[in-house]
């Protein structure tokens, strides 16, 4: 079964023009940081690695876990990593605060941002307005915290009407469960999976995804320094092609996706991470827009609305689309289609 899965992914790679048999000595070393740990939603990257796509494309990619979008942005901006994954809106905020050190997105993984606030039924919070006066736990610089002003504004509440409990990302669920916060902000799949792992039943969890409450923003994206990308155009094109291979492979064979993920994190629970991957695929990646237009379509009207909404909420100048996004390294449109 695993051989057939590998063969399927290998076939995808071949079908979109990945060269076969790149010599190890000629591969370009790439330092790549994720936005989070090796969990379900990250399986697209372990598929890309385990399928041989990176190697066959002439790349030697070292993949490291991240600690949130803010962490990934900082590491790419500092030059510690060449390429990273970050929430698109965190990138907008970073560029607004660092106009002379801008980063750029080259591929959108999640068509809808999985930013959210998650709470428990016992806290009697069922809508954004119920958060007024409440404590929300999250890390400084994490995407959902950064984007909270847009979520608040879209729902008619003052962003300053909540109290933030600053904690490490891995403590959000525990803090919520122990009553030290009334809600947790964060990546929807990560927080939900964490609560499930602590034994909380789905019927006791309340989800407030920003995408369902007025913030129709893009999510996880591949980010890079524009100067580095311009100096390594072939590397960027190959990297994005392999990202597409990873996405398609995770949709075609989720079991194989989790099997590759466990090579990077042997402590994973198959059932929990399979549910996380399915949630990510159905809720964030394979949206109706993506089904119609393909990945990274970046319809200009929607992009403009996102830039206006996020920049207003973050109180920064609205960036030009070219300041935050480039399609220069995408494969042909037909290769970005996930539904035929």
* Residue 171: pLDDT over 70: yes
> Taking each helix axis from N to C terminus, what angle separates 69-78 and 88-97, rounded to the nearest 10 degrees?
50
Q: CB within 8 A of 266, min separation 6: which ones?
A: none
User: Residue 11 has what pLDDT?
Assistant: 54
Strand order of the β-sheet with 28-33 is 59-64, 28-33, 83-87, 220-224, 104-108
**How many C-alpha atoms does 79 have within 13 Å on its Cβ side?**
3
- What percent of the chain shows pLDDT beyond 90? 81
Tell me which residue has tokens 């009407």. Answer: 161
CA torsion angle 267 270 272 274 (round to 10): 130
User: Residue 17 has what pLDDT?
Assistant: 54
Query: Residues 170-173: contacts with CB within 8 Å, 24+ apart?
Result: 170/194, 171/137, 172/137, 172/138, 172/139, 173/197, 173/198
* Residue 116: pLDDT over 90: yes
* Number of residues that make up the chain: 340
User: Residue 339 has what pLDDT?
Assistant: 80
User: Residue 78 has what pLDDT?
Assistant: 97
Tell me which residue has tokens 């606030």. Answer: 117
List of domains in the chain: 2-112+218-336 (3.40.190.10), 115-212 (3.40.190.10)
* Residue 22: pLDDT over 70: no
User: Residue 8 has what pLDDT?
Assistant: 52
* Residue 320: pLDDT over 60: yes
How confident is the model over 179-186, as a mean pLDDT?
Answer: 97
> Taking each helix axis from N to C terminus, what angle separates 233-252 and 2-15, rounded to the nearest 10 degrees?
140
* Region of poorest pLDDT, from 16-30, 145-159, 212-226: 16-30
- Measure the CA–CA gap between 71 and 194, rounded to whole angstroms: 20
User: pTM for the full model?
Assistant: 0.85
Tell me which residue has tokens 């900082």. Answer: 74
For residue 285, the 8-state DSSP code is I
163-166/135-138 β-pairing: parallel
Longest CA–CA span in the chain (Å) reads 60
How confident is the model over 296-312, as a mean pLDDT?
Answer: 93
DSSP 98-158: -TTS--EEEEES-SS--EEEEEEGGG---SGGGGTT-EEEE-TT-HHHHHHHHHHHHTT--
Read off the tokens for 30. 């790439």
* Residue 179: pLDDT over 80: yes
* Residue 273: pLDDT over 50: yes
- Measure the CA–CA gap between 69 and 56, rounded to whole angstroms: 29
pLDDT band of residue 9 (cuts 50, 70, 90) is: low
* Residue 128: pLDDT over 50: yes
CB 111 within 8 A of CB 218: yes
* Residue 39: pLDDT over 50: yes
Among residues 248, 118, 249, the alpha carbon closest in space to that of 195 is found at 118
User: Residue 1 has what pLDDT?
Assistant: 43
């Amino acid at each position: 079964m695993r051989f057939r899965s590998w063969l399927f992914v290998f076939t995808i790679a071949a079908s979109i023009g990945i060269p076969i048999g790149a010599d190890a000595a000629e591969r370009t070393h790439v330092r790549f940081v994720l936005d989070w740990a090796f969990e379900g939603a990250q399986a697209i990257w372990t598929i890309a690695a385990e399928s041989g796509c990176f190697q066959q494309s002439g790349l030697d990619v070292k993949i490291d876990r991240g600690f949130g979008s803010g962490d990934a942005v900082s590491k790419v901006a500092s030059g510690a990593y060449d390429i990273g994954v970050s929430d698109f809106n965190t990138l907008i905020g970073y560029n607004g605060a660092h106009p002379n050190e801008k980063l750029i997105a080259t591929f959108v993984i999640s068509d809808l941002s999985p930013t959210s606030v998650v709470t428990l039924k016992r806290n009697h919070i069922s809508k954004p307005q119920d958060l007024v006066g409440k404590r929300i736990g999250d890390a400084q610089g994490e995407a959902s915290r950064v984007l909270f002003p847009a979520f608040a504004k879209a729902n008619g509440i003052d962003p300053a009407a909540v109290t933030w409990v600053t904690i490490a990302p891995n403590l959000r669920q525990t803090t919520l469960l122990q009553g030290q916060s009334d809600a947790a902000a964060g990546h929807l799949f990560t927080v939900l999976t964490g609560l499930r792992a602590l034994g909380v039943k789905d019927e006791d969890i309340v989800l407030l995804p920003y995408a369902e409450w007025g913030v129709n923003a893009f999510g996880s994206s591949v980010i890079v320094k524009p100067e580095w990308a311009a100096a390594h155009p072939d590397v960027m094109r190959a990297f994005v092609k392999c990202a597409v291979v990873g996405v398609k492979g995770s949709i075609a064979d989720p079991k194989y996706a989790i099997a590759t993920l466990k090579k990077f994190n042997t402590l994973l629970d198959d059932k929990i991470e399979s549910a996380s991957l399915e949630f990510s695929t159905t809720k964030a990646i394979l949206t109706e827009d993506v089904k119609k237009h393909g990945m990274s379509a970046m319809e200009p009207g929607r992009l403009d609305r996102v830039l206006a909404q996020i920049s207003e909420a973050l109180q920064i100048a609205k960036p030009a689309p070219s300041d935050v996004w480039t399609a220069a390294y995408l494969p042909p449109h037909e290769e970005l289609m996930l539904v035929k």
